[in-house]
Structure 1
C-alpha cells in the first residue's frame, strides 16, 4: 500500500487549531497544487458533530472562495477534527489562515440559515444532516483559540 502522509503525522504532538502544509504536487503540465491540513479540533480529544461539520464544510466552500483565490476543494477529515484544503499554486499559510479565520467569524456572527448552500435534496447528498447552531458554536471555539500558522506551536494567533 502507498504511504499516506496523514497517517505518518504524530497526531499526539500537534496543537490544534492550525493550518499545516501537507505537501505539493506538480501535474504533467507543470500545474502545482498544495494540500493543507486545517485542523480545528485537537485530535483524539474531541470531534465536531457530523451535522455541524457538514454545515461548516458547505459554508467554507463558498466563504473561503470569496476571500482567497485558488481554492480547489475543502473536504472534511473522516475523524471530524478538520479539513483538507486543496489549492492551486503554493499559497502562504498566513494568507490562508486569514481567509479561514474571517470565514469562521462570518459563520459565528453573520450567516443565516438562508445563506447556507446545499441544504436540499437537489444540491446535497445528505441534506437533512446540517446544523447551523453547531457550526456557529464550533466556529466560536476555534476563533477563541486562534488558528496557528504552525501545527506544533501556537504561532501567528
Structure 2
C-alpha cells in the first residue's frame, strides 16, 4: 500500500529538496521508502547528462556502502534528480546526513567510481568536474532540502513568479 501522494505539481517546486515521494508497506511486512532528491528545476533546467550520470554512480556507491538501508539510487528520466530507495525506518535526518556525506566525498574524489567499460555501459559519458561543482552547489543549499512547500495537482494555483533557472550546471 502506497502511503504518500506523489501528485506534485512540477510547475511549483523549489529545488533542491529531499522528500519522501512514497512509502510502501506490504502485507508481508516490507517497509520501503522512495526518496525524491530533486536537484534541477522541472520543465526549466535539467542537469547535464554526464553530470547526472557521474552523480548517480558516486551517490549509489557511497550510500550503499555506508548504509544497509539504501537499496538503490536511480536517475529520474526528466534529468532533474534522483530516487533513493531505502528499507526500514529511515528518517529525513538520517538520509539527509548520508546524502550530504556522499556529496562531500564527491567533492574530494579523484575519479568517478565504476566509470570504466567493464562496469559502465556509457563509460565515456561522465564529468567528475561537473559532479563536483553540482555537489558544492547542493551542499551550499542544504538548508533548503527540507523546505518542500509546494502544491499538488489538486490544489488551487498560487500566484507566484515563474522560478528562475535553478540547476547545478556542472561541466558537462
TM tier, smaller: 0.7 to 0.9
Structure 2 gaps, min length 5: 151-172
Match of 1:150 among 143, 147, 152: 147
Equivalent position of 1:51 in the other structure: 50
More helix by share: 1
Question: Which whole-Å deviations, capped at 9, do the CAs of 1:3-52 have from their partners, x for residues lacking one?
Answer: xx65x211122211111101211234211111110111222231211001
2: CA distance between counterparts of 1:150 and 1:65? 25
8 A Cα contact 1:18 1:151, kept in partner: yes
How many residues are aligned here?
145
Equivalent position of 1:25 in the other structure: 24
The correspondence of residues 3-152 of structure 1 with structure 2, limited to 5 A, is: 6=6, 8-108=7-107, 110-113=108-111, 116-146=112-142, 147-152=144-149
RMSD: 1.7
8 A Cα contact 1:94 1:149, kept in partner: no
What secondary structure is seen at the aligned counterpart in 1 of 2:147? Answer: coil
Larger gyration radius, structure 1 or structure 2: 2
Q: TM-score, normalised by structure 2?
A: 0.77
1: CA distance between counterparts of 2:54 and 2:33? 24
What secondary structure is seen at the aligned counterpart in 1 of 2:115? Answer: coil
Q: TM-score, normalised by structure 1?
A: 0.84
2: CA distance between counterparts of 1:105 and 1:34? 24
What secondary structure is seen at the aligned counterpart in 2 of 1:58? Answer: helix
